[in-house]
């Protein structure tokens, strides 16, 4: 069968280069009649679709096929063929099922969305299929927070130690303040547990949005097109940033990612026919300014320090100055450090560990605990006899102003 490419090549060789039909047939390896037919035809050859099977074999199974499609419109054609006992051509059967299937499939049109400058930033978690060393001989697959401006497609991202609310808020604030330098009017998320579910925001999210004067919207379930921009950004990161890279730590991952992002934002986005780095200025101009005071991010809680003078954050234990054993301490955890205070005084300051189930100890805390333990052990038992522990009852009468039998106040 002569293809459109053959037809176009034949006509070019005959009309533009003046070759004879015989020469064209020899050069292209085609029959002379095929060459002659192409020269005579003013229109390219058209593929004639195969007509649907109308023979008795298909007519015999068509009612059963319609019943199955009505109940299960997405059932594969091969499964339908097995159910109805089809023994003929599988290709013909697929073609006829494909012709009938649209009658029963629900229509799900996808609207084309337009985003004004500064209106929206889409947020999502990308889980790169790599394990990164996190210390203590451990490796972990950690989430990457991805934020994409819907208008300019400007991209920002960073790896986080967890997907808890405190870390998500801290990551969003870091990317907004250091990459975008402004606050969009809407932050779009899916139903991430650390952000909120069932129409209720997680604790701390409303305060974060209030400080930034922005609004957080969660996409409806089963509606992936709503945040398709950041979904495509995730795919772009996985296919263009990740291949061929090795990482020695989460800090190394973020350093390589930070060095690559300017190149990503300088690429031409086909849908926009422009570069994000050239369009982000309009986004920033339409966004809200950063708040004068940074929002409260990370995690904070109050705990009473036990005798072992450690506080737990996530799955890890961090030592605290044992001098405040038994007192309430305030723990603050961010992406980089964990700080413990007691009545305004710092009693512990550690680099946060991204490993799991590890114990981080400050040698100074161990030394202080040794001194306090020696003092406690040097304190002997109470001295004196049993009689020294017995007081005269008149002492209590005097103390409480009780009148004695003689009518006098003791």
Does the pLDDT value for residue 178 go beyond 80?
A: yes
CA distance 299 to 243: 34
Q: Sign of torsion, CA 153 159 161 167?
A: negative
pTM of the model: 0.69
Mapped onto helix, strand or coil, the DSSP state of residue 337 is strand
| pLDDT tens for each residue of 98-141 | 999 999 888 767 666 788 999 999 999 999 999 999 999 999 99
Residues 6+ apart with CB under 8 A from 322: 309, 365, 368, 369, 372
Does the pLDDT value for residue 384 go beyond 60?
A: no
- b (16+ CB within 10 A) / e for 61-90: bbeebeebbeeeeebebeebbeebebeeee
Does the pLDDT value for residue 180 go beyond 80?
A: yes
Q: pLDDT value at position 216?
A: 95
Distance of CA 398 to the CA centre of its chain: 73
CA distance 303 to 330: 7
> For residue 202, what pLDDT band results from cuts at 50, 70 and 90?
very high
Distance of CA 79 to the CA centre of its chain: 36
Distance of CA 58 to the CA centre of its chain: 49
């Amino acid at each position: 069968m002569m293809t459109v490419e053959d037809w176009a090549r034949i006509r070019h060789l005959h009309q533009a280069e003046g070759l004879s039909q015989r020469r064209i047939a020899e050069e292209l390896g085609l029959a002379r009649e095929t060459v002659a037919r192409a020269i005579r035809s003013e229109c390219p050859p058209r593929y004639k679709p195969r007509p649907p099977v109308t023979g008795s074999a298909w007519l015999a199974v068509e009612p059963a096929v319609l019943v199955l499609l009505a109940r299960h419109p997405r059932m594969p054609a091969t499964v339908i063929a097995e159910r109805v006992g089809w023994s003929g051509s599988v290709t013909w059967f697929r073609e006829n099922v494909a012709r009938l299937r649209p009658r029963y499939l629900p229509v799900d049109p996808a609207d084309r969305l337009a985003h004004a400058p500064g209106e929206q930033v889409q947020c999502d978690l990308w889980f790169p299929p790599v394990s990164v060393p996190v210390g203590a001989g451990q490796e972990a697959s950690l989430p990457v927070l991805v934020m994409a401006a819907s208008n300019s497609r400007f991209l920002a991202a960073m790896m986080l130690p967890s997907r808890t609310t405190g870390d998500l808020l801290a990551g969003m604030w870091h990317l907004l303040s250091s990459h975008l330098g402004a606050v969009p009017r809407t932050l779009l998320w899916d139903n991430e547990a650390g952000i909120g579910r069932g129409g209720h925001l997680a604790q701390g999210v409303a305060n974060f949005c209030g400080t930034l004067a922005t609004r957080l919207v969660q996409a409806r379930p089963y509606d992936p097109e709503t945040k398709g921009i950041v979904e495509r950004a995730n795919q772009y990161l996985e296919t263009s940033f990740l291949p061929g890279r090795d990482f020695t730590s989460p800090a190394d991952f973020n350093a390589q990612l930070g060095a690559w992002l300017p190149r990503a934002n300088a690429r031409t986005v086909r849908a926009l026919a422009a570069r994000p780095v050239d369009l982000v200025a309009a986004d920033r101009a339409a966004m809200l300014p950063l708040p004068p005071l940074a929002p409260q991010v990370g995690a904070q809680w109050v705990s009473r320090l036990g005798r072992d003078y450690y506080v737990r954050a996530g799955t890890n234990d961090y030592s605290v100055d044992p001098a405040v054993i038994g007192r309430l301490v305030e723990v603050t955890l961010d992406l980089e450090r964990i700080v413990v205070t007691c009545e305004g005084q710092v009693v512990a300051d550690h680099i946060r560990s991204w490993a799991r189930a590890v114990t981080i100890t400050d040698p100074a805390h161990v030394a202080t605990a040794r001194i306090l333990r020696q003092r406690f052990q040097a304190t002997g038992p109470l001295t004196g006899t049993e009689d020294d522990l017995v007081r005269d009852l008149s002492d209590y009468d005097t103390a409480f102003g009780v009148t004695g039998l003689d009518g006098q106040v003791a």
